[in-house]
Amino acid sequence: MASPNSRATFKDYIKRQLGYPVLEINVDDDQFDDRIDDALQYFSEYHYDGAIRTYLKHQVDSSWLTQFESDSTQNASTTGSHDYSGQTFGEQQNYLVMPESVLSVLRIFPFNDRNAMDMFDIRYQLRLNDLYDLQSTSILYYEQLQQHLNLLDMTLVGQVPIRFNKHQNRLYLDMDNARVTAGEHFLIECYRKIDPTTFTDVYNDIWLKKYATALVKKQWGQNLSKFEGISLPGGVTLNSTKILDEATQEIEKLEEESRNNYELPLDYMIG
C-alpha cells in the first residue's frame, strides 16, 4: 500500500522500501515498533505538520481552588557538612495537570473583560500613543510594539505568568487564586501533537515515511554488524557497514531538512 493509513500498513510500507519480500529484513518487531515511535516523536516535536496550535478550555471547581492553596513538602537533603540541617520547604500546588499530548503552553488569556475599557483607561491611552507613529513597512518596529503591548497587559491587566514542562504535564499558574472563582474557565493556548491513531493521514506524510525507513534501516545495519565478515552460502559476505553508513547519512540529511524547512520558527525577543 503506497499510501499507508495505519501503523500496520506503515510498517509494511517500510519493509517494502528496504527490499522485502525479495530481501529479509533482520529487524525484530519490537525494534521495528521502537523506531516507528522514535520517528513519530521527532515528527511531532520538530515538524509543523506533527502538531497543531489549539485552545483548551478548563472549568475551575472548588476542589482545585482548595488544592491551589496547599503546599507540598520538600525536605532538604544535600551532601557536605552544614551548620544546621533538617530544613523543609513548601511548594505551592498551583498547577493544572495537562493532557500528555500537549507539547508547549503559550499563554492563558486574561480574565478581565476588555470590552469594558473606555478611552479614559490608561491602557487605551498608552496604546494610542504607541500606535500613533506605527510605520506599516517596519516589521521590526511592529514586533517591538507587540512585545510592549503584551508587557503592558501583564503589568496593568494582570496576565497570568505561567510555567510548563511537558515531562511534568503541569501548567503552573503564578497567581492569586482570589482572581478566579469556581465555575469560571481557563482558556489555554498551546501546541498539541497530532494523534496518528485518530488522524491516520499522518502515516502518509512523505517526510515521515522517509525518516522512519531510515531509522529502521539503521537498526537493520546495527543488527547485521554482529555478523560482519561472515561468509554465507554461495560466497556472499554481509556488508552491514554500508547499510549502517547509508542509513546514518539519510537520517542526518532528513533531520537537517526538517529543521530548515519544516520546523516552526522560534519567537524572538527584542529589548
pLDDT digits (tens, 9 = 90+) for 204-259: 999 999 999 999 999 999 999 888 776 666 666 777 899 999 999 999 999 999 99
Mean pLDDT over each residue of the chain, to the nearest integer: 83
Pick 37 or 113 by higher pLDDT: 37
Pairing of strands 95-97, 88-92: unpaired
pLDDT digits 0-9 by tens, 20-64: 999 889 999 999 999 999 999 999 999 999 999 999 999 999 999
pLDDT score for 143? 63
- Is the pLDDT at 172 greater than 80? The verdict is yes
Give the alpha-carbon dihedral of 128, 129, 133, 138, to 10 degrees. -80
pTM of the model: 0.77
Three-class SS state of 190: strand
Pick 114 or 82 by higher pLDDT: 82
* Spatial CA neighbour of 218 closest among 238, 239, 244: 244
**Where are the strands (E) in the chain, listed by range?**
51-59, 71-75, 88-92, 95-97, 102-108, 162-165, 170-173, 185-193
Sequence-distant (6+) residues with CB within 8 A of 161 are: 154, 173, 174, 175
**What gap in Å lies between CA 174 and CA 111, rounded to an integer?**
14
Measured at the CA of 208, the angle between CA 167 and CA 252, to 5 degrees, comes to 85
Percent of the chain predicted with pLDDT > 90 = 53
CB 147 within 8 A of CB 269: yes
Sequence-distant (6+) residues with CB within 8 A of 186 are: 57, 58, 60, 96, 108, 180
Map grid coordinates 491513531 to a residue: 197
**What gap in Å lies between CA 142 and CA 251, rounded to an integer?**
39
